[in-house]
Amino acid sequence: MASWKVTFPCTRDEAEAIDFEGAALLDIDPAPVLLTSETIPDDPASWQLEAYFDGKPNSAAIAAVQALAPSSDGVRPALEKLRDEDWVTMSQAGIEPVHAGRFYVHTEHNRGIVPPGARAFRIDAGLAFGTGTHETTAGCLRTLDELKVSGKRVRNLLDLGTGTGLLAFAALHLWPGAYATASDIDPRSIEVTAENAGLNHVALGEGMGQLALAVAPGMQHPLLIGRAPYDLIIANILAGPLVELAPTVSMALAEGGTLVLAGLLQDQADTVARAYRRQGLRLAGRIDNGAWPALRLVKRARYGADRVTRPGPGGVGEAPGFGSW
């Protein structure tokens, strides 16, 4: 049976909000595979949604996919019959590998030649948002690499809103003896992270050198709370949630700890940094990848409640006024 592709315009916000295996597609059998990508670099309004079908889709299936991108309402879909080839390979062929710091990120079909000394990670497209090719992820990878080069010691880290697990994997590579946690509000993202951990030989678990996983909105999970405070928190999400989470994320960061923020645009950086300065953090560094900055902040010493007497899993004691999480 021939495969078909349907393409719609969408926005970056719509792309990030798509539930790739959600109820909207349950009536389509077999379900299409969805991919999102930029059509104009650094323009959040210029993205596209591609749906790959086994067989020619009917109008109901096309409408169900189009409903995932409300901004495409009224737009005639681009319907294309594909040649008898492996369309998964075709769809990922245009995703270039990323070499950021000591890391090299690729999909199954574009491994290429790994640079000498680089740690390669395979992160395939299509199941969770982000493949490591986006400038925000590359900026985070470079920031982590620079932290290691500078001598930063990390015993306990959190990748908040992990997506595919890539940044948690990279951090564990740099600090292999650390306790590590990765969380996401989307259960499918945590499933994908577990799958990617297997592909990339990352051990799962709650011990040193292992990655613990949690489905959680923000910091609202006993595992995330119980393992605080963190020497390093990475949050590659959107500007709005970053601002909203500033009080609880800052509280979970140890004094002198480092916070890496990304997923925001240039004109949102000051607003996000200001929200964390109000919580006692200072801007210590910044990497600009096109329109997508990655911010590095450090929590000032002796700021806030002295709520935990020792860092890492097993820390004890919470002061009054700890917060909503």
- Annotation: binding site: 137, 161, 184, 236
Structure tokens belonging to residue 55: 């067989």
CA 208-158-275 angle, 5° bins? 155
Q: How far apart are CA 56 and CA 6, in angstroms?
A: 10
- If you count them, how many residues does the chain have? 325
Asked if 39 and 9 touch (Cβ cutoff 8 Å), the reply is yes
Q: What are phi and psi of 136, to 5 degrees?
A: -65, -45
Q: How far apart are CA 111 and CA 193, in angstroms?
A: 19
Q: How far apart are CA 272 and CA 246, in angstroms?
A: 9
- Annotation: binding site for S-adenosyl-L-methionine: 137, 161, 184, 236
Q: How far apart are CA 233 and CA 236, in angstroms?
A: 10
Q: Which of 287, 273, 258, 293 is nearest to 171 (CA)?
A: 258
Residues 6+ apart with CB under 8 A from 267: none
Q: Which amino acid is at 177?
A: G
Distances (CA, A) of 194 to 123, 155, 197: 12, 22, 5
Given CA atoms 82, 86, 87, 91 in this order, what sign does their dihedral have? negative
Q: What are phi and psi of 249, to 5 degrees?
A: -65, -45
Quick one: DSSP state of residue 72? G
Q: Which amino acid is at 298?
A: V
